[in-house]
Structure 1
Amino acid sequence: MSDGEAVPAAQKAGWGTFLKQIASFTGDLSQLSAPPFILSPTSLSEFPSYWGEPTKEFLAITAGQTPEERQLLVTKWFLATLSGQFTRREKDTGSEKKPLNPFLGEQFIGDWNNGEVKLFAEQVSHHPPVTGYQLEGPSITYAGNCAQKTSFSGRTIVVKQVGHGILTVALPDGSKETYLITLPKLKIEGLWFGAPYVELSETSLIQGSHGLTTTIEYSGKGWVSGKAHSFKATVAKGPHISLANALFVISGEWTGESHYVKGSPADKEGKLFLNASGPTNPINVKPVEEQNEFESRRAWKAVADGIRKGDFDAASVAKTALENSERQKRKDEAAAGTPFQTRLFTTVQNDPEYHKLAALCKHTPADEDSYAFKGVSA
């Protein structure tokens, strides 16, 4: 494929200008405005819903009988979230799309299995942009926050996912287990072909309060060798993990099948661990007309409609109107001395659970706040 072959003819000039801006820009690339055809009709505030789409795997965690079994179930659920997060938009549209930047206080609320699992998300900060979320089901919650810091390297956009999540499982004896989950780094490739796609890189961790750690190493297809969307997950006791002291090693593709390399429930190497290519379980969201004014799909409806219809002029006008309205609200709040207050979450500084779990896996705690869900007012 030649450079720009996937770019619509009417958009090639804008795409070329955008690439030049990327190459010369210093700072966080999220501040740049992307050409309309590369915009997604979905706000970044919806992205926490990917944690709940493997609903079966999420709920199955509570059925684990031992710490080792639950560590594996948490690992399986986490890996099952990745394909939806990072490859679905490419499969649906032919390339990765830039999500809409949420406005401060934007909400995304929905559920699965007729309310058995619920999600609450809110944009808790705009500068820097941070989304807080809570996913909850019977005897299990996953609460966290996420943000992105983007930069350009060579021919690739590098996205550092900032934030973390803590999964809490209520055990039958009344005690609780917690798991710290850190996020991998992204690389957005294919820019010069006009067909961006995501590859994961480096490592992420799942640290259980019982002392077991899952270290996930990501690798992709290089210029000469390698296989796209590959990973190796190692489960061991303590922070100094190696193949020698690993209880379990799982290897494969996070978009497809993965298998045990060492130690499986049947103690058979090669046993299937996860098939991540199965059907998804999309979140159920109220119709737009029943949503409150802060909910994402209602607020961005005119923009999303324009993008889906290919009417990028209409999408741009609606996007500018919404963004200008939000800027004016912030100015009015500053003038009145009444700073914006989040509605669904409250800030937790120096979260002790985060620091305790980070210490177990020798993960250096980031200088970032946590956010506690305070409920939905009637």
Structure 2
Amino acid sequence: MSSTEVAGEASLVLAVPNDAVPASQRGSWTSFLKSIASFSGDLSSLTAPPFILSPVSLTEFPAYWCEHPDIFAAIADAKDDESRALAVLRWFISTLKGQYTSRNESMGSEKKSVINFPPRNVPTHLTRNRPLNPVLGELFYGKWPATSTSSSSQGTTTLLVEQVSHHPPITAYVIENKTKGLRLIGHNAQKTSFSAGSIIVKQIGHAILTVSLPNNTKVEYLITLPRLRIDGLWYGSPYIELTDTSYIVGGGYVSTIEFKGKGYFSGKSHSFKAVVSPSSSASSSSSSASSTPSSYTSYFSSNNNNNSNSNSTPSNSTPTTHTIDGTWHTTSSYTSGKFRGRPFHDVSSDHHHHHHGKTGSKKVEVTAVGGGGGGDGDGGGEEMGEFETRRLWRDVARGIREGDFESASREKGRIENEQRQRRKDEQAAGTTWALKHFVRVESDPVYERLGKLIKIVPPTEDTYVFQDNSPVKP
């Protein structure tokens, strides 16, 4: 069996119980594990056997940011900076379960790894395997229509994803609800290493959430990403743990989210502690755009003039600090502050509690839409362009779903060879691949300005500026 190239999050796949590996594949699996044990450097350059692949590309993963579109939409309903900061945190915490754990529906048990091997007689699509590594320029368009059970004012939320780099793999995305005035833009990459029996994944990138208020001001939030640690590799039961700290900064508040695993705060896996407090100092409302191309100066200056940390909608009460404790894959509650003792979030059965009571939030799958053809953003598969992920990987996905790994491997190899040839042709012609929806800029002034409030490291980071050219109609 030929091995296939794996990059980015591929390196998360590392160990499974022996009985989960098909008998015919155990040789290649064992040699893969041995190669990891003796490997130093970034694991994303390793190769892995094809039977572990999922029929889904990593370009679909940004959809996890909006598995609960009503919780995302609810951010816009907050009446003041304090409640808005709590709403942003609640939405962020509600995204983690989908992003970092998966559920084996037929077995009723949580699978705590990005890679899970289907137990015997369980259809592959019910467990999450290693996602396909996207090609440069790969696209995914989707939407979450407002459901009939929710109020019509929730609006439609749209998704646009583009693979903006292949070496290293970087994915950029935009999630937008125009009805509610919400836009999340971010990019994400991974750097993976092996340390003391665990795999450490440093997530690179950040996201900026912009909330457009009814009074025509905008509030921006900088969101940083946690590190991942994968333990239990050599015991045949790998599981993922979030580690270190994430920050959400903006709107006059800082949320500090500390992630711990078993044996720290509570002895429970997936524990977190969040502290939401007023910013100690107001951020500068301007930032130098001198290093950016002139065509983006207007983009950046308009962003920077938004008084992001002002109390644009004053709270009736004195600003207070809140502490929230719990496990991000189940429930959490307020442990200090004026809501002490009340539930904060609940994704244990895909329902969510707000501090004023329950809401009927259910996890909602994204609906893929075609961006090709007539370009109306409402088409089915027949309107998908050649770089849209579900068309690009269609034959690979079919092979994986049907257990025909030879066919899947062959199709995957064909796509990868085509990509290598494209890069060679570009090099020979002295051209580079042109991105469709984003332009890379060396330093993000919003990251720099808001990051100062938490003395962020690194103090500057690049960004991908969205070109406002989504084919997806709300």
- Contact kept in structure 2, 1:7 and 1:194, CA below 8 Å: no
Shift of 1:194: 4.1
- Contact kept in structure 1, 2:447 and 2:460, CA below 8 Å: no
Distance 2:420 2:280 in 1: 45
- Contact kept in structure 2, 1:190 and 1:197, CA below 8 Å: yes
Q: TM-score, normalised by structure 2?
A: 0.74
Change (3 A) 1:24 1:249: same
Partner of 1:42: 56
Partner of 1:331: 424
Distance 2:244 2:347 in 1: 20
The alignment status of 1:310 with 2:352, answered yes or no, reads no
Q: What one-letter code is carried by the residue in structure 1 that aligns with 2:206?
A: H
Q: What one-letter code is carried by the residue in structure 2 that aligns with 1:43?
A: S
Distance 2:42 2:262 in 1: 26
After superposition, residues 1-378 of structure 1 pair within 5 angstroms as 4-88=18-102, 91=110, 97-113=129-145, 116-138=156-178, 139-208=181-250, 210-222=251-263, 226-238=267-279, 247-263=321-337, 267-277=338-348, 278=350, 279-286=362-369, 287-365=380-458, 368-376=461-469
Unaligned runs of 5+ in 2: 1-14, 105-109, 119-126, 147-154, 282-318, 351-361, 370-379
SS of 1:41's equivalent? strand
- Contact kept in structure 2, 1:5 and 1:194, CA below 8 Å: no
Shift of 1:339: 0.9
Distance 1:157 1:4 in 2: 19
Partner of 2:291: none
Partner of 2:301: none
Distance 1:230 1:37 in 2: 32
SS of 1:260's equivalent? strand
> Who wins on radius of gyration, i.e. which is larger?
2
Shift of 1:28: 1.6
Distance 2:231 2:30 in 1: 16
- Contact kept in structure 2, 1:7 and 1:195, CA below 8 Å: no
Distance 2:409 2:103 in 1: 21
Distance 1:222 1:35 in 2: 34
Deviates more, 1:4-13 or 1:273-282: 4-13
Q: Number of aligned pairs? A: 370
Distance 1:239 1:203 in 2: 19
Shift of 1:377: 7.0
- Contact kept in structure 2, 1:111 and 1:285, CA below 8 Å: yes
Change (3 A) 1:133 1:372: same
Q: Deviations over 1:82-118 (max 9, x none)?
A: 0001112664755753221111000111000167111
Q: Give the share of equivalent positions with the same residue, in percent.
A: 50
Unaligned runs of 5+ in 1: none
SS of 2:20's equivalent? coil
Distance 1:276 1:206 in 2: 20
Q: TM-score, normalised by structure 1?
A: 0.91
SS of 1:16's equivalent? helix
For the aligned residues, what is the CA RMSD? 2.4
Distance 1:23 1:81 in 2: 32
Shift of 1:5: 4.1
Change (3 A) 1:321 1:48: same
Q: Deviations over 1:138-196 (max 9, x none)?
A: 20100010001111112221111100000000111111100000000011233234443
Change (3 A) 1:41 1:189: farther
- Contact kept in structure 1, 2:163 and 2:170, CA below 8 Å: yes
Shift of 1:363: 1.0
Shift of 1:10: 2.5
Distance 1:88 1:285 in 2: 20
Q: What one-letter code is carried by the residue in structure 1 that aligns with 2:429?
A: A
Shift of 1:73: 0.3
- Contact kept in structure 2, 1:3 and 1:194, CA below 8 Å: yes
Distance 1:64 1:351 in 2: 27
Distance 2:368 2:269 in 1: 33
Distance 1:110 1:193 in 2: 38
Distance 1:376 1:235 in 2: 35
Q: What one-letter code is carried by the residue in structure 2 that aligns with 1:237?
A: P
- Contact kept in structure 1, 2:143 and 2:366, CA below 8 Å: yes
